Amino acid sequence: MQTLRSPMEVAFEGREGLRKIVICTGTGCIANGALEVKEAFQRELAAAGFATVEHFTQLGQLKGGDDSAYLSKSGCQGFCQMGPLVSIQPEDILYTKVKASDVKAIVERTLKAGELIPELLYANPVNKTRCRSQHEIPFYKSQTRFVLKQCGDLDPESLQEYLAIGGYQAAKRCWTELTAEDVCKEMLDSGLRGRGGGGFPTGRKWELTRVQPEPKKYVICNGDEGDPGAFMDRSVMEGNPHSVIEGMMIAARGIGADEGYVYVRAEYPLAVKRVRQACADAREAGLLGDDAFGTGRRFDVQVMEGAGAFVCGEETALMGSIEGERGMPSPKPPFPAQSGLWAKPTVINNVETLATVPLIMAMGAKVFRGMGTGTSPGTKTFALSGHVLNTGLIEVPFGLTLRDVVHGIGGGVTNRQGKLDAKGFKAVQIGGPSGGCLTQEHLDLPLDFDSLRSIGAMVGSGGLVVMNHGTCMVAIARYFMKFTQQESCGKCVLCREGTKQMLLLLEDIVEGRGSLETLDMLQELGTAVQRGSLCGLGKTAPNPVLSTLRQFRAEYLAHVVEKRCPTGECKALAKPEIAAERCKGCGLCMKKCPVGAISGELRKPHSIDDALCIKCGACAQACRFEAVVGV
Amino acid sequence: MPTVQLRKFEKVCDIIDRHGRQAAKLIPILQEVQEEYRYLPEEVMTFVAMSLGLSPAKVFGVASFYAHFALQPKGKYVIRLCDGTACHVKGSEPILGALYERLGLSPQRATSDDLLFTIETVSCLGACGLAPVLLVNDKVYGQVSVQQALGIVDELVKKEGAHADA
């Protein structure tokens, strides 16, 4: 069994005293100013007399010593809300929310004097203790970072660093020592299932393609991550692009392909840039091209940027898009394994799946099976967002419960003001527009392919959006419907027209025109759309509606029977009121009300005049005691 | 002005040549053409179609299918508000409403008459940890409030106003 070395180990080898400073340059940290922080480090390190290099290949220029530094960057470390993140090795210090103006202090106090700067350490919001490193932060502590591990350590733009930690070794072994059958068998044995949504066994997909007699075959990496609320594929492509290419090379060896495509979503410009660069570097190093690993066999990869169509995440539509057509799905069978791109046998795998492949090949199928559950081995990344304390990209073994994720890693549910609320949990939306909702009763459900499917939800792409009691489930269902309706390609009548009608019905409900009959029609139409659509988009489009109808029927009933939105989110149904027991009579809402609808004496409960109120919600936003309800 | 016309198509010819005049490369070709013009003018699409041996209807069909292709000119500043799930539950809708109001635009009229601003929503930018997210051209703003969003726009309006006055 081979294991990958850590980038840290490689950098410090024979260089006593060297410091490695890693700045996270994922999209999130860049938005928060990571590039300015990096510039500040360049300036301050030079001013303090440090011998600094910024690329792995220049490390040889450093001899080590207390005044030498390797200023490196990494892909997304997952904890985007605390960015920019800066870690210092070998001390293992993680500084959060670093500003360019903090850098001088970091260089002088931490690097030179060896002391910690407590203000920059992450503060555990529960007990206010400061956490020195990743290992002490609850957000990271309960995770198993496996596929994402190197995203946070490695310089994504350095092929040399990837090679130095043992990258491309697994692909090399597959190309030079193993037969195609061996490769497919190892994948089958590992039990790896596709991370893109369906959970189809990857090994079986490869084997089906391998046995096709046609000599020309393709490998496609599906990086068209369109689900709103999911961004793991973006992080992997930005943070460790070579792992994806290595995964594709192994797939190519397994099925006998000589050409591959990476299809990246247009909204991810940084991912496009990094994958393109990685391909060019790998080609230059002779890994890709006419003579892969000196075997005389060819494999090369092209990068194609999507053009903004959600349906292209569906494999047949994606292949249409590569061929220069409108991205419309076609019926299966024939499956891509039999007739895919340009009608040739094609393996199409998701980014995360492919990034897992080299790790499995390095550690062996047996060890891999040791993680996760029997039918869902390995780990899964989830994009945790919404009303939780800690949002970001997480990775956990399959089988962890929802409670561990929401309350453990997520740190608990938050209220409208962003404060912890122990009783705030209402639901988790999993799997984006094709998934469903999990509620209180599912908190102890293990998260894996089969147990989620058993309750009508799915892992999907791995978006986990936590919602508190202030979120209206009907409005959420309408939100997803609006999304799928816009993204329906129009091929199947039931998907094209059905989603439009479902959206209109949901709009009737949130605007107070709904009746019990509306709910029945929604149910009937939803079932029809599921049955009458060709591809995954249409088949799963009604899921958010049907699942909320089942689990939050009372909320729908309140909308259609009482014409009331229990959360107050549906403005057309709003009836703002001031809860007398919570109102302190501070008068703030009175001042904020644009139409003068609020009256009351100082220090006594105020009230709202329905006739004047325009339901704008300014009072509820202004109130510091959550006394305004129903808006 | 015939010289201007000629030069215009020269660029397009370059792009088509770089892709080996292959009809299968239609999407990358249109992407590069759009980068050049900021949208896809009708006559350019017709030119592309003829050069690749396709019908103009086919090219128009592909261009109109993908959200990324603009058939109308866009503003100098394209403001894209993320309406992904995370941004949505963290309140992207009020921000969108406020931006439309401030710039006098609407979903039907997304670009201002002076071609300075275009407001769009995108389904997810994949920066959910920073929800709600706003993008002005390529610059990402995370965890924005209504006030901040309006501040960003006001700043741009002021900057452009200063240019116009100068």
Q: Tell me, yes or no, whether A594 and A553 share the same domain.
A: no
Using the Cβ of B67 and the Cβ atoms of chain A, whether some distance falls under 8 Å is answered with yes
**pLDDT exceeds 50 at position B1:** no
Residues B59 and B91 in one domain: no
Contacts with B89 from chain A: Cβ below 8 Å? 386-387, 465, 467, 471, 476
Kindly give the interhelix angle for A351-363 and A169-176, rounded to the nearest 10 degrees: 70
- A145 in a domain, yes or no? no
CA atoms of A377 and A397, how far apart (whole Å): 8
- Tell me which residue has tokens 């994806």: A244
Task: Indicate if B60 and B82 belong to the same structural domain.
Answer: no
Do B8 and B32 share a domain, yes or no? yes
Burial of B91 (0-12, 13-18, 19+ CB in 10 A): middle
Provide the pLDDT for residue A180: 97
> Under a CB-based contact definition with an 8 Å cutoff, are residues A102 and A120 in contact?
yes
The per-residue pLDDT for B58 is 96
| One domain, residues A89 and A121 | yes
Q: How many CB pairs lie under 8 A apart between chains A and B?
A: 129
pLDDT tens digits, one per residue of B146-162? 999 999 999 999 998 87
Question: Would you give the DSSP letter of residue A110?
Answer: I
Q: Where are the alpha helices (DSSP H) in chain B?
A: 2-18, 26-37, 42-52, 56-65, 85-89, 92-103, 146-165
The pLDDT of residue B138 is 81
* Chain centroid, CA A316 distance in Å: 23
Please tell me the distance from the alpha carbon of residue B115 to that of residue A63, in angstroms, as a whole number: 56
pLDDT of residue A88: 94
CATH number at residue A261: 3.40.50.11540
- The rounded mean pLDDT for chain B is 89
pLDDT for residue B165:
53
User: Which positions ≥6 away from B2 have C-beta within 8 Å?
Assistant: none
The DSSP secondary-structure symbol of A343 reads: G
% of chain A surpassing 70 pLDDT: 99
Same domain for B157 and B82: yes
Q: Is the pLDDT of residue A412 over 60?
A: yes
Among residues A368, A391, A409, the one where a domain terminates is A368
Facing residues of A397 across strands? A379
Q: Do B9 and B86 have their domain in common?
A: no
**A190 and A277 part of one domain:** yes
- What's the pLDDT tens digit per position in A57-98? 998 888 888 889 999 999 989 898 898 999 998 999 999 999
- The answer to whether residues B123 and B81 belong to one domain is yes
Residues of A in contact with B34 (CB under 8 A): none
CA B50 to chain centre: 25
pLDDT of residue B163: 65
Domain boundary among A348, A368, A388: A368
B23-53 pLDDT tens trace: 999 999 999 999 988 899 999 999 999 999 9
pLDDT of residue A417: 81
Do residues A166 and A27 both lie within one domain? Answer: no
Q: Is A308 on the interface with B (CB under 8 A)?
A: yes
Band of pLDDT at residue A108, cut at 50, 70 and 90: very high
Residues B155 and B83 in one domain: yes
**Cα separation, A576 vs A591, whole angstroms:** 16
The answer to whether the CB of A154 falls within 8 A of the CB of A75 is yes
Task: Give the type of residue at A573.
Answer: L
Cβ-based neighbours of A93, under 8 Å, separated by 6 or more: A87, A110, A116, A121, A132, A133
Q: Is the pLDDT of residue A533 over 80?
A: yes
Closest of A531, A538, A527 to residue A491, by C-alpha: A538
Return the SS3 of A310. Answer: helix
Which ipTM did the prediction report?
0.87
Per-residue pLDDT at A415 exceeds 60: yes
Domain match, A120 and A83 both: yes
Q: How many residues does chain A have?
A: 631
Give the number of domains in chain B: 2
B81 and B45 assigned to the same domain: no
Which residue of B85, B122, B138 is in closest CB contact with A229? B85
Question: Is it the case that residue A340 has pLDDT exceeding 80?
Answer: yes
Summarize the confidence of residues A434-447 as an average pLDDT.
91
Which stretch, A237-251, A261-275, A407-421, has highest mean pLDDT? A237-251
Do A128 and A180 have their domain in common?
A: no
Of A226, A383, A386, which has the smallest distance from its Cβ to B89's Cβ? A386
Residue B5's pLDDT band (boundaries 50, 70, 90)?
Answer: low
For residues A59 and A201, membership in a common domain is answered with: no
Is position A144 within any domain? no
Mean pLDDT of B114-138: 88
d(CA A575, CA A611): 11
Query: Is residue A95 a part of any domain in this protein?
Result: yes
Do A158 and A75 contact (CB within 8 A), yes or no?
Answer: no
- The predicted structure's pLDDT at residue B7: 56
Shortest CB distance from A228 goes to which of B27, B65, B123? B123
Instruction: Report the pLDDT averaged over residues A608-629.
Output: 86
User: In terms of domains, do B59 and B83 share one?
Assistant: no
Q: Is the dihedral of CA A320, A322, A327, A331 positive or negative?
A: positive
E strands present in A291-354 = 300-305, 346-350
A541 pLDDT exceeds 50? yes
Out of A27, A269, A325, the one facing B62 most closely (by C-beta) is A325
Domain span at residue B27? 2-65
Question: d(Cα A395, Cα A398) in Å, to the nearest integer?
Answer: 9
Judge whether A373 lies within some domain.
no
Task: Select from B65, B97, B116 the last residue of a domain.
Answer: B65
In this structure, are B102 and B127 located in the same domain? Answer: yes
A115 and A199: one domain?
A: no
Last residue of a domain, one of A341, A368, A395: A368
Given an 8 Å threshold on Cβ–Cβ distance, is B68 in contact with A225? no
Q: What is the CATH number of the domain that holds A617?
A: 3.30.70.20
Domain count, chain A: 5
* Domain of residue A456, CATH code: 3.10.20.600
A524 with A625, same domain: the answer is: no
pLDDT, position A346? 98
Whether A321 and B27 lie within 8 Å, measured CB to CB? yes
**Residue A1 — pLDDT band, cuts 50, 70, 90?**
very low
* pLDDT confidence bin for B6, thresholds 50/70/90: low
CA A182 to chain centre: 32
Same-domain pairing of A224 and A331: yes
| Residue appearing with tokens 């261009």 | B63
In a domain, A567, yes or no: no
Among A406-410, A621-625, B130-134, top mean pLDDT goes to: A406-410
Q: Which residue, among B65, B74, B141, B145, would best test binding to A if mutated, counting the most A CBs under 10 Å from its CB?
A: B65
With beta carbons under 8 A apart, name residues in chain A contacting B86.
228-229, 383, 385-386, 391, 465
Which of A29, A140, A262, A326 to probe the B interface (max B CBs under 10 A)? A326
Structural domain containing residue A33: 7-137
Looking at the complex, does the CB of residue A228 fall below 8 Å from at least one CB of chain B?
yes
Rounded Cα gap, residues A408 and A391, in angstroms: 12
- Cis amide linkage into residue B2, ω under 30° from 0: no
Whether residues A524 and A542 fall in one domain: yes
Name the strand (E) or helix (H) holding B136.
strand B134-136
pLDDT digits (tens, 9 = 90+) for A350-369: 999 999 999 999 999 999 99
Q: Position of tokens 């892992």?
A: A459
Rounded Cα–Cα distance for residues A590 and A584 (Å): 12
Q: Are A437 and A463 in contact (CB under 8 A)?
A: no
Rounded distance between C-alpha atoms, residue B25 and residue B28, angstroms: 6
Residue B136's domain is classified under what CATH number? 3.40.30.10
- Say whether both A466 and A478 belong to one domain: no
The enclosing domain of B45 has a CATH number of 1.10.10
Whole-number average pLDDT of chain A: 92
Strands A607-608 and A598-599 come out as antiparallel
- Which of B24, B26, B126 lies closest to A231 in CB terms? B126
